[in-house]
Amino acid sequence: MKMFYIIIINNLKINRMSTKITKWTCVLAGIFLAFSYAAGQEKLEMRSLKASAFGERMAIKPEIRRMDVREHPSRLRKGEMAMRADYKPFPDSTITYNLKGDPIGKAFYEYDANGNEISYKEYKKNEATNDWYESFRRISTYTADGYFLSEEVSEWDENLQMWIGDYRYTYVRNSSGATISYEYDIWDYQRNTWKGSTKNTFDNSITTTYNWDSNINDWVFYERIEYVSDNVRYEQYWDSELNKWGDQLKIESKTILNYNKSGVQIILNKENWVSKDDAGNWDENNPMVFVNYSFYSLTGWNASFYVTYDVSYDNAGNIKSVKLSDMGDNTFTTTFAYNYTVNKANSNKVYINNDLIDNYNCVYDNLGRMTELSRNLNYNGDVEDYKYAYTYIGDSNTSNSVETYLWDSNKKVFVEESKDMYTYNADGSVVMYQTYSWAETKWVLSSYTIYYPNNYTSDLEFEETNPVGSNNQGAFTVGFDLPQDADVTGSFYITFPDGFVLDEENTALSDELSQKYSITITKQEGKNTWFVEIKDAATANAPAYRASSYKKILTVAFTVDEGIEKGDYTAEINNLNFLLSDGTMLIENQRDITLTVDRDETAIKQLAADKVNVFASGELLSISTPDIETVNVYNICGESVHTAQKAAGIYTVSVTGWKKGIYIVTGSKGWARKVLIQ
């Protein structure tokens, strides 16, 4: 959140622009205060950003360190940009779901060889057509050496059916990576195109700033700064009336306080502003003196303005207060209190002219981690009262939840507003983000987002086990390594081509898993799509353990229309998410599977005479008959190895652990078949 307080600004340009300032007789009539609040430092330490409906702006994402391109370009060097490489693995994509398990948002990332993000795109779903459309994009470019070159952010306007720009940065660099110029552009909503805002050029020690003039649609001079040394610079502003540069100001700066202790950082720089006298000489005896104040603490904000100062300390050597004054009667004071057990500031108050306008309070645990942060702001009609509560993973500094409370002015208490929860994998990357809202007496899940790691390779396997023949039936299996004793839940969407229909009756879990889990199939409206979900059935007689790992999890059966011609067809499986009790997540955004329709004349004649089909594929034995009946499987010695009551259609059984060889399969309807298991 950013808030800007402005108290009486009376021609702050003063005579820096063009008129000679021979004596500092002008009195500053006000103070400009600019506070940038980012409440909750710990919230940032969770490496998270939160904003709109989904994707990166909806959810908390693992923070990839991004340099602020609005900073002086000298900071945008390869070494700092390379720090991004410390945050691996980068996310590849995210999918956000609502309470029903329906996907409501997607986001995709792309990176260059140096680990810099070069593309981030968000997608929303058109509720009328169920189609996804790109709604937000951030495109960036870098040199081969990793130097930042450009970033463009845009959003899709459904009404105008066009991309609307947000901002755009463009850098020009020399062969060594040093910045020659950079430009910041914004969107012109009247003409629906980009227009300039600010441009800087860098020529050795001189920095020139330009502003965009919409009347002439071109850049115009604004400011020129010549850096003589680390603490001496010359500034001058463009006089648009005289069409020339104004007189120079000589500015000498010196750090008079650089304090960093107990979570409080304060820097005070003294500046002498010197102008030229009537004779054209620097009037060193009559400078205007300012103090630039930079501040960072538990509130996460900073201020900068021109004042005199006074600093007081407590007995432990911590800064107790900083009081700053202008040349009139205006004062700004910030005070601190400390938790000496963990040696951190736990209270920060801000006063303007002795009126308390902002108040932060923190609570820490015995490990020095912030567990609560509250704020009370009341200034010029801006009122904010909120509180954050944090929890952490074990003894680490990684937060796994944050609860937000708002002040109820009637009840005079903080009331629950929202809750964010994070699930991490072993390397510390976020794999799931959940949002909750308060419903009378408890937190209720609102949505959740799954993060897919970059270059992720899932262990999910798909295999067509029964090509479609003259019986118009087919099947494929979904499988992965399920460790012994591990539980599993999960879901996916499957979209069949036209003429194909999921066979809900014959789509089933493997025999072993069906004793512990249940399967739910929901037809989706608007498309040839089904939602398949595996849940814990909580069956009392379910086996306590499995003897070994299991590969084939589910058989998906389907039927096809008579008019479907012979050939290969593609089914699309989306949003696959399986969670194992050992913490393993099997996730995949999309997988296509080829379904074969093979209706040759030989098969038609054979099935017309005998509609029984028995075959083995991989670790599954499939038995297809048109009737409900009992089937038996015998080994070559005549010993029964499996008996089951099957429904009409396809029935499958795992042959894991069976000896290789020939088996006899019989049905209660009087048929028998041989099958080779390899």
Please calculate the CA angle 293-294-295 and round it to the nearest 5 degrees. 120
For position 414, what pLDDT does the model report?
Answer: 92
Across 292-302, average pLDDT:
67
Mean pLDDT lowest for which of 93-102, 233-242, 418-427, 471-480?
A: 93-102
At residue 67, the pLDDT reads 27
Return the bridge partners of 50, or none. Answer: none
Question: What pTM, to 2 d.p., does this model score?
Answer: 0.59
Does residue 137 surpass a pLDDT of 80? yes
Domains of the chain, first to last? 457-600 (2.60.40.680), 610-678 (2.60.40.3080)
Lookup result for tokens 């102008």: 275
pLDDT of residue 196: 94
Residue-level pLDDT at 677:
85
pLDDT at residue 34 greater than cutoff 50? no
Of the two residues 69 and 365, the one the predictor is more confident about is 365
Reported as a pLDDT band with limits 50, 70 and 90, residue 615 is confident
- How do residues 222-234 score in pLDDT, each as one tens digit? 999 999 998 999 9
What is residue 485's predicted lDDT score, i.e. its pLDDT?
63
pLDDT score for 1 = 27
Higher pLDDT, 131 or 176: 176
More reliable by pLDDT, 512 or 158: 158
pLDDT band at 484 (very low <50, low <70, confident <90, very high): low
Average pLDDT of span 303-310? 70
pLDDT of residue 166: 94
| 109 within 8 A of 90, measured Cβ to Cβ | yes
75 versus 624: the higher-pLDDT residue is 624
- 3-state SS of 243-296 is CEECCCEEEEEEEEEEEEECCEEEEEEEEEEECECCCCCECCCCCEEEEEEEEE
48 band by pLDDT with thresholds 50, 70 and 90: very low
Residue 603 confidence (pLDDT) above 70: no
Q: Which residue has the higher pLDDT, 456 or 385?
A: 385
Q: How far is CA 583 from CA 427, 487, 602, in A?
A: 13, 10, 50
Residues 565-593 have a mean pLDDT of 79
Q: Which residue has the higher pLDDT, 98 or 3?
A: 98
353-390 per-position pLDDT tens digit: 888 988 999 999 999 999 999 988 887 777 779 999 99
Mean pLDDT of 52-74: 28
Cα–Cα distance measured from residue 151 to residue 134, given in angstroms and rounded to the nearest whole number: 18
Strand partners, 186: 167, 195
